[in-house]
A and B are shown apart, each in its own frame.
Chain A
Amino acid sequence: DAKTTQPPSMDCAEGRAANLPCNHSTISGNEYVYWYRQIHSQGPQYIIHGLKNNETNEMASLIITEDRKSSTLILPHATLRDTAVYYCIAHAGGTSYGKLTFGQGTILTVHP
């Protein structure tokens, strides 16, 4: 997995959009950008992933730059329950590629 860099912490007001950046300047052509979050000692929860195009699902949007060297996870209307550690991982998807390499992630705190 390519190395990713995330800010250690961010704050966001409830109801506002939370924009979490991730740098992955050495990402390979076959590596996807995955986002997970971990809410206080629970198992990591899959959020979204993408290769080149921007992606959106019911939880979030993922914006990947054209050169694929960075991305942003967007939670459009953050709630207190979105307070968690968010992990950005560059990983080649599929059963041939095995483990995910977790960094320290970004601690997102959503406040009232």
Chain B
Amino acid sequence: SAVISQKPSRDICQRGTSLTIQCQVDSQVTMMFWYRQQPGQSLTLIATANQGSEATYESGFVIDKFPISRPNLTFSTLTVSNMSPEDSSIYLCSVENQETQYFGPGTRLLVL
């Protein structure tokens, strides 16, 4: 398994600002994933982050809005840029370890 932590656990932000979410895993992993869960909805993948290469974004998500860093094999950040109330969601990172994906506790974001 993998133990994943995220910071912050929750935040309330003003529209037009940006928030960077950190994801730390207790072991080295090749692939890390960032998901979004909008209120009352299921999880949607934002992007896949491999160490040493550019993140791969899913349809509907762009790098200017959700820049991602992956400086090493245990850490990644997701920034939500120029936020609007529609960005209010839970943001989750996950890692794949031995054919299973494990999820962090999530970051609950409210944009006013």
Contacts and interface: CB of A to CB of B under 8 A. Distances in A.
Interface of A: 32, 34, 36, 41-46, 49, 87, 93-95, 98-100, 102-105
Main secondary structure of the interface of A (DSSP, over half): loop
Main secondary structure of the interface of B (DSSP, over half): strand
Interface of B: 1, 4, 30-31, 33, 42-45, 48, 58, 90, 92, 94, 96, 99-106, 108
Given A32-B99, A93-B99, A99 B45 contact: yes
B11 to A, nearest CB: 14
6 contacts: A34-B100, A43-B104, A87-B42, A94-B96, A99-B48, A105-B42
A74 to B, nearest CB: 19
Q: Which of A95, A99, A100, A105 counts the most chain B CB atoms within 10 A?
A: A99
Contacts of A95: 30-31, 96
